[in-house]
Chains A and B, each alone.
Chain A
Amino acid sequence: MGSRVAAMHDDEALRLEMAALVPRLRRFALGLTRAADQADDLVQATCERAIRSLGGFTPGTRLDSWMYRIMQNLHRNALRDHAVRMRHAEQAGAAGEPRLDGAGAAAARSDLRTVGAALDRLDPEQRAALVLVGVEGFSYQEAAEILDVPIGTVTSRLARARLRLRAALGDAEDPA
């Protein structure tokens, strides 16, 4: 009985902590998907998956890292599934679906020199690394764990992402 009460308290605490994470989860999801509706779908799927898998969360560790990792996995799977469907659609001669990696959004945007447009055009893996470290403030080690890649891969992706962003924004940079 006592342990059940404790478990309920844990759930309450986790629910509050998760609710407080929602704005950050939305921000990261937008960095990953580059489309507002997809981002919020991804946040919803992430929360639902996380709550169903709470047994896999180690109390006392960072809930945010754990949830970012779930989100990043869900997004990676979505990209992979989407690519498979695109190939099938191409083989069937169909026009295919809109791209999920933001390139469509970039093409639709009139001003390509905004940071948003530049971000759209980054590779999804580079974008994830850049947003985790540059916006979400994770260390390289934490980002490597969230992305499930070696730390050297994080630094490579970061360097390439930063250079590409710089190339896109450099000329438009306000010298002031």
Chain B
Amino acid sequence: MTGDGKAAGTGSPQAGAPEAAPLDAAEELARRLGAHLDGELTDADAAAVEAQLFADPAARALYRGLKADQAALSAELNAATNRPAPDLLAVIDRAFAARAAPRPAARRRWWPQAAAAAAILVVALGGAGWWAEYRIGTAMHRLEARQETVRGEIQAALSRALETQVSGATIAWAGDGISGEVTPIRTYRSASGDWCREYLRSTRMQDREVSVRGLACRNAEGAWVTVKAAPDGAHDGKALSGQGPASRDGAAGHTEL
């Protein structure tokens, strides 16, 4: 194998001028999402990332991918660590013995202790990996809890608007770190006789905004259930009427967070 420029580059890790280059947009996103996974963000920054995840499906996909990669990485290295070890404990004991060479007593009964140490290896091994997992778990729980809250707030505002507002009348609502508006735009009866209303809603977290055009129908219990929803924006707008892509799948795909 002949060397290439890369091999030479690996020899001088500290020299790396390319590394000093600022992160590009994709790398910056990976940095932010990774820091959220690592539990390294302040509450304010974590909330900003959550707002971004809320608004940006690509960021959500990346976040899930990063999390999966990290779990795969831990599994890979942990599995490889299970292979038989050379006698590293003997190495350690010899080195300690050499350090204590002038004192013959230092050679006394190290085997029982090596055995005791071996017994706690299993406990020690999982430790750090578990902690990394735990941090991710915490980040995900935080996200999921936030997600639940956001869904609940949106649904409450939507139900209130559809139940009480005439078409064209907008109601605004606000929750913790989130706000939005809902406007019913059209009302009709479905074939099965239920009342259905088209609506526009927009929701803001921090500086992020998501606009959705949806259709909800009032079920027998009087609850408004969204049957179609799709992003409604200059870049991503899709007509809701007709059998466009705004099916139930489209709605699920766009569910916040």
Query: Chain B, interface size: which category?
Result: 35 or more
Q: Smallest distance from the beta carbon of A17 to chain B beta carbons, Å?
A: 9
Which residues 40-84 of A sit at the B interface, judged by CB distance below 8 A?
A: 40, 43-44, 47-48, 51-52, 54, 64, 76, 79-80, 82-84
Q: Smallest distance from the beta carbon of A101 to chain B beta carbons, Å?
A: 5
Q: Is B70 an interface residue (CB 8 A)?
A: yes
Q: Is the CB of B11 within 8 A of A22?
A: no
Q: Is A112 an interface residue (CB 8 A)?
A: no
Q: Chain A residues with Cβ under 8 A from B113's Cβ?
A: 12, 15-16
Q: Chain B residues with Cβ under 8 A from A125's Cβ?
A: 13, 16, 19
Q: Is the CB of A95 within 8 A of B65?
A: no
Q: Is A123 an interface residue (CB 8 A)?
A: yes
Query: Chain A, interface size: which category?
Result: 35 or more
Q: Which of B30, B131, B132 contacts A159 (CB 8 A)?
A: B30
Q: Is B44 an interface residue (CB 8 A)?
A: no
Q: Is the CB of B114 within 8 A of A19?
A: yes
Contact string, B70-102, partner A, CB cutoff 8 A, digits 1/0? Answer: 101111111011010110110111011011100
Q: Is the CB of A87 within 8 A of B3?
A: yes
Q: Is the CB of A124 within 8 A of B121?
A: no
Q: Is the CB of B80 within 8 A of A36?
A: yes
Q: Is A146 an interface residue (CB 8 A)?
A: no
With A40-B86, A47-B88, A96-B3: A11-B96 Cβ-Cβ less than 8 Å:
yes
Complex CA distance for A103 and B1, rounded to whole angstroms:
11
| Residue of A11, A18, A19 with most chain B CB atoms under a 10 A cut-off | A19
Closest chain A residue, CB of each to CB of B2 = A96
With A156-B31, A160-B27: A86-B127 Cβ-Cβ less than 8 Å:
no
Q: Is the CB of A8 within 8 A of B106?
A: yes
Q: Is the CB of A23 within 8 A of B73?
A: no
With A96-B3, A125-B16, A139-B40: A47-B91 Cβ-Cβ less than 8 Å:
yes
With A47-B91, A96-B1: A116-B76 Cβ-Cβ less than 8 Å:
yes
Closest chain A residue, CB of each to CB of B120 = A20
Q: Is the CB of B88 within 8 A of A119?
A: no
Complex CA distance for A23 and B130, rounded to whole angstroms:
14
Q: Chain A residues with Cβ under 8 A from B74's Cβ?
A: 134-135
Q: Is the CB of A48 within 8 A of B118?
A: no
Q: Is B238 an interface residue (CB 8 A)?
A: no
Q: Smallest distance from the beta carbon of B52 to chain A beta carbons, Å?
A: 15
With A24-B125, A131-B77: A173-B117 Cβ-Cβ less than 8 Å:
no
Q: Is A109 an interface residue (CB 8 A)?
A: no
With A24-B128, A44-B86, A137-B132: A119-B73 Cβ-Cβ less than 8 Å:
yes
With A15-B113, A116-B76: A23-B124 Cβ-Cβ less than 8 Å:
yes
Contact string, B5-19, partner A, CB cutoff 8 A, digits 1/0? Answer: 011111111101001
Q: Is the CB of B30 within 8 A of A18?
A: no
Q: Is the CB of A86 within 8 A of B65?
A: no
Complex CA distance for A144 and B3, rounded to whole angstroms:
30
Q: Is the CB of B77 within 8 A of A44?
A: no
What are 25 A-B interface contacts by the 8 Å CB criterion? A8-B105, A15-B92, A15-B113, A19-B121, A20-B120, A20-B121, A20-B124, A24-B128, A79-B11, A80-B11, A86-B11, A90-B2, A100-B10, A115-B73, A119-B76, A124-B10, A133-B38, A133-B132, A135-B74, A136-B128, A137-B135, A160-B30, A162-B30, A166-B62, A166-B65
Extra pairs beyond A44-B91, A51-B95, A166-B65 (6, CB < 8 Å): A16-B113, A19-B89, A101-B10, A137-B135, A157-B19, A166-B66
- 7 smallest A-B Cβ distances: which pairs? A83-B11, A19-B117, A137-B131, A159-B31, A51-B95, A23-B125, A137-B132
